Amino acid sequence: SAVISQKPSRDICQRGTSLTIQCQVDSQVTMMFWYRQQPGQSLTLIATANQGSEATYESGFVIDKFPISRPNLTFSTLTVSNMSPEDSSIYLCSVEEPGQTTYEQYFGPGTRLTVT
Amino acid sequence: TQLLEQSPQFLSIQEGENLTVYCNSSSVFSSLQWYRQEPGEGPVLLVTVVTGGEVKKLKRLTFQFGDARKDSSLHITAAQPGDTGLYLCAAKKTSYDKVIFGPGTSLSVIP
């Protein structure tokens, strides 16, 4: 399976600032996704990062708040803009790869964001 | 309304005990995955099941997909502290759909 790395692994940010999270994959992948995991919760899909076009956002998430770049098939960034304490979460990058019988998703180690 | 339900929500057991966690839905899925997420890490894929009634074993872990492909169970034999983590089930209705995640079962195995 693909090896996925994220930077930074964690950060503490002041409200009103922005943070850009990087996701690097060791192989070319078509589908890349960004998820948010709030404390003690499951995963919520923010958007699908499309190479060469705008990201596709899920209900409740907008491009102005979470701009995403996907310049090539191995890299993506997610920016959390104008942060508030409610944005404190783990942000996870994920890729989809063909498995033995169906496509499977693999995750990076996550970026733990705390907004003060 | 959660499309995927997991039970129990929390489970704390002694080392050496057996346990089963469940993932249920009223929908039929084409595939279902189980992940384990340890504190401070991303979810790690444990298994994918696609056929109704399918049983897969991974060392002390046994996964079963329901005959109707609406539910699944994960059984752990002789739990160890290293099994501690958040167990997430995830499923797709068709291969073209996005993955849906359950709310998770938080397991704590006490030495």
Burial B56-85 (b: 16+ CB within 10 A, else e): eeeeebbbbbbeebbbbbbbbeebeeebbb
Q: Which two tokens stand for residue A73?
A: 């098939």
Report the chain A residue with the minimal C-alpha distance to residue B102: A42
Tokens 């249920």, residue located: B24
Distance from CA of A51 to the nearest CA of B (A): 17
Q: Which two tokens stand for residue A96?
A: 């989809």
B12 bridge partner residues: B108
Looking at residue A100, what is its pLDDT? 86
Q: Is the pLDDT assigned to residue B2 strictly greater than 90?
A: no
Q: Are A113 and A90 in contact (CB under 8 A)?
A: yes
CA atoms within 13 A on the CB side of B30: 12
Q: Are B25 and B70 in contact (CB under 8 A)?
A: yes
Burial A79-108 (b: 16+ CB within 10 A, else e): ebbebeeebbbbbbbbbbeebeeebbbbbb
Average pLDDT of B39-46?
94
Q: Are B87 and B101 in contact (CB under 8 A)?
A: no
Q: Is the pLDDT assigned to residue B50 strictly greater than 60?
A: yes
Per-residue pLDDT of chain A in tens (116 residues, 90 and over written 9): 889 999 999 999 999 999 999 999 999 998 899 999 998 889 999 999 988 888 999 999 999 999 999 999 999 999 999 999 999 999 999 999 988 888 899 999 999 999 99
A53 touches chain B (CB under 8 A): no
How would residue B1 be classed by pLDDT, with cut points 50, 70 and 90?
A: low
> Which candidate from A4, A41, A102 shows the least CB-CB separation from B48?
A102
End-to-end CA distance of chain B: 36
CA angle A21, B82, A2 (to 5 degrees): 40
Chain A positions touching B54 (Cβ under 8 A) are none
CA distance B50 to A62: 34
Please give the residue that has the higher pLDDT: either A103 or B111: B111
Rg (CA), chain B: 13
Looking at residue A53, what is its pLDDT? 84
Chain B positions touching A109 (Cβ under 8 A) are 41-42
Looking at residue A39, what is its pLDDT? 85
In one-letter notation, the amino acid at residue A115 is: V
